Structure 1
Amino acid sequence: MRPRHAALAILVTAIWGSNFVAIRIGLDDIPPLLFLSIRFVVVCVPAVFFVKRPAIAWRDLALIGIFVSLGQFSLLYIAMHLGMPPGLSSLVLQAQVLFTVVLAALWLRERPSRRQLAGVGVGAAGLAVIAIGRGLTSPLLPLAVVVLGAVSWSIGNVLTRRAGRVSGLQLTVWSGLVVPVPALALSWLVEGPEAMAAGLSAFGWEAAASTAYTAYLASLVGYGIWNTLLSRFPVASVTPFAMLVPVFGMVAAAIAFRERPTLLELLGGVVLLAGVATAVLRRRTSGADAPASGVTAPGRLSEPAAQAGSPSR
């Protein structure tokens, strides 16, 4: 990979990491489920008229959308609305890689390597340290909701793995079609019509900028560049860059909101990322680095599993 391609990969991770700050800004005035519905309307329209539908069954497309987009993002948005810091959210969501390893073993009978199992164990220890550090200073509910979002994303990863090779951009746009109506219905039931009306009336330039960033930059531009890199270079050369997402996320949150993790949260984050790195990184072997896009070879993490920050999309 040439320096300019590495720079593009780093640019995407910076966009995805900063996406958590953009989400947080949008949630200042808009209820989370309503904001999620608006975001995916912008993601899908007009892109759905220009991006080809992925060659998978409608049922699989809907299920992937339910878990990767609706489940993951609704839980993330709710957790951040409840007070989960954006930088820490970008870090904890990395647990989806570890959950994907476990679910792929149970569901798809993909036997994890010793390295992956060790990564799961180290990552789980990191999550426990974060929970302890978080519990000493703040309620644990927002943290638990983000972890549930990571679980939802991991289920979607396994569904994507089962569906076969697909373009991430196509999947983002077409699976996103299942989000707006259910999110709007949940907003009506959970947040209430009065909160929805107040949110829409308060939809100013900050909410519009946040929506544009999350929909266009993070989802469409980010995935367009990322999948181009995946089509030209080995998956093992591209996906490790995704571990920079929480680094950029925490730096962006520190700049925007003066977010400072506690010592235990920081220690747990380092351990969690070490577990993710152990699960994702692997020694190169002959024939293992053939260029691929979308889903990797059987027994390996799918591309979405190796990415951080779905909210990045």
Structure 2
Amino acid sequence: MRIGHLGLALLVVVLWTLSFLAVKLGLRDMPPLALSTARLLLTSLPWVLVLPRPPVPLHKVALYGILMFALQLGLLAVAIHLGVPAGLAAVLLQMHVFVTATLAAVFLNERPSQWQILGALVSFSGLGLVAMHAGSASSSLGSGFSVVGLLLMLLAASAWGTANIVSKRLGPVNLLSLIAWGSLFAWPPLLLASLTFEGPELILHSFRNLSGIGVGAVLYMAYFGTFLGYALWSKLLHLYPATQVAPFTLLVPVLTILSSAVVLNEPLLPWKLAAAGLVLTGVLLATFGARMVRHLQRAPS
């Protein structure tokens, strides 16, 4: 990979890392569903007026948008609102790799490899470690977030994994168009959920008292974390094989854990680092295990 393109890949990692911090900062001013609604509203409008509609049936674009954006981002925001640390949320979202593999085996007849099975076992051991430490903030063994928050993060990862299968069935489409049009179908159900569960009074109060940090968080998530990040990512995938680009995404949870400790004062607890290491090791084994073995077998003794 050329130096300039390597810099773009690292820039995407930084943009996506800061998106997790932006969610946490935005939640200081807005309830989670309203925050996600505002993010996706800005992601879709006015861009759907200038970007061509993906050349696939609209109901498939709507399904992708609801899964990838409404459910994944909405559940992520609610989980962080309930106390899941931003760094840990970034790690738990990596479970989408195994959801994608499972659904691909069921619906696309793609048989999981032994490395994917081994990676899943390692990652789920890290998930079990997280579950052991989930509890109330007042608990001496708890981590300050509830089991509900953990379950919501797993649902968010499941929504991402399911969206990957839907995306695969769409075939080759312009990624930016898919983001904009998918977001157009994602924010109305989020707005309805926000009005139902958070209430119009709380929503109006949060908008009236929105701070500069809150405004910046929403704008950052919509334009930098989503549009710019995915635009650069799409460019890299066009220039290089996915196998050469994909490993950079594993830097996102690592940097999120470190940056959230600095910016948000999230403690770097030993169990959290161990759980993150297990989850990411499992993802590495599932994604690159077979390739690493073939490389070692070809290497001169």
**Same fold, TM exceeding 0.5?**
yes
Structure 1 segments unaligned to the other structure (5+ residues): 286-313
Query: What secondary structure does 1:93 align onto?
Result: helix
| Further displaced range: 109-118 or 33-42 | 109-118
Contact 1:68 1:153 in 2 (8 A): yes
Report the RMSD for the aligned CA atoms in angstroms: 1.5
**Match for residue 225 of structure 1 among 229, 232, 235:** 232
Equivalent in the alignment of 1:93: 93
Paired residue for 1:283, among 291, 295, 298?
A: 291
Deviation at 1:149, TM superposition (A): 0.8
Structure 2: distance between partners of 1:134 and 1:261: 15
- The separation in 2 between residues aligned to 1:248 and 1:15, in whole angstroms, is 11
Give 1:147 deviation, angstroms.
1.1
Counterpart residue number, 2:128: 128
Q: How far does residue 134 in structure 1 lie from its aligned partner after superposition?
A: 3.1
1:124 deviates by 1.2
Q: Determine if the alignment matches structure 1 residue 159 to structure 2 residue 183.
A: no
Distance in 2 of aligned mates of 1:66 and 1:20: 20
- Which residue of the partner structure matches residue 179 of structure 1? 186
2:263 corresponds to which of 256, 262, 273: 256
Give the C-alpha shift of residue 162 in structure 1: 1.7
- Distance in 1 (CA, whole Å) between partners of 2:283 and 2:103 is 15
1:269 and 2:276 correspond: yes
Q: Return the letter of the residue paired with 2:240.
A: F
1:100-115 aligned at under 5 Å gives the runs 100-115=100-115
Which amino acid is 1:41 matched to? L
**Which of residues 243, 256, 261 in structure 2 aligns to 1:236?**
243
Matching residue of 1:64: 64
Q: Structure 2 CA distance, aligned partners of 1:54 and 1:10?
A: 28
Aligned residue identity for 2:242: V
State whether residues 101 and 112 of structure 1, in contact with CA within 8 Å, keep that contact through their aligned partners in structure 2.
yes
Structure 2 CA distance for aligned equivalents of residues 263 and 168 of structure 1? 39
- Per the TM alignment, residue 55 of structure 1 is displaced from its structure 2 partner at its CA by 2.0
TM-score normalised by L of structure 2: 0.91
Instruction: Show the counterpart of 1:53.
Output: 53
More off after superposition, 216-225 vs 132-141: 132-141
Amino acid in structure 1 at the alignment position of 2:179: T
* Pairwise CA distance, 1:260: 1.6
How far, CA to CA, are the matches of 1:57 and 1:149 in structure 2?
25
Amino acid at match of 2:64: I
Partner of 2:299: none
* Aligned equivalents of 1:167, 1:73: Cα separation in 2: 21
Deviation by residue 1:130-184 (Cα, 9 ceiling, x = unmatched): 2213343132221111111111111111111122222332221110111222111
Alignment counterpart, residue 200 of structure 1, candidates 204, 207, 225: 207
Indicate the SS of the match to 2:40.
helix
Counterpart in the other structure of 1:148: 155
Secondary structure, counterpart of 1:111 in structure 2:
coil
Greater Rg over alpha carbons, structure: 2
The answer for unaligned runs of 5 or more in structure 2 is 136-140, 295-301
What are the superposed Cα offsets for residues 258-310 of structure 1, whole Å, 9 maximum, x if unpaired?
A: 1123212211110100111112225288xxxxxxxxxxxxxxxxxxxxxxxxx
Flag as ranges the 4+ runs of structure 1 deviating above 4 A: none
Higher helix share: 2
Distance (Å, rounded) in 1 between the aligned partners of 2:16 and 2:97: 16
Percentage identity across paired residues of the two chains: 34
Mapped partners of 2:254, 2:116: distance in 1: 22
- How far 1:49 sits from its partner (Å)? 2.1
The alpha carbon displacement at 1:44 in A equals 1.1
SS of corresponding position for 2:134: helix
Aligned to 1:12: 12
The 3-state SS of whatever aligns with 1:101 is helix
**Aligned partners of 2:175 and 2:129: how far apart in 1?**
33
Q: Secondary structure at the match of 1:84?
A: coil
Equivalence for 2:138: none
Question: 1:25-72, CA deviations, whole angstroms, 9 ceiling, x for partnerless residues?
Answer: 111111111111111111111222222222221111111111111011
Structure 1 counterpart of 2:273, one-letter code? L
> Matched residues in 2 for 1:199 and 1:22: separation?
16
How many angstroms does 1:85 deviate by?
1.0
For 1:171 and 1:13, the matched residues in 2 are separated by 21
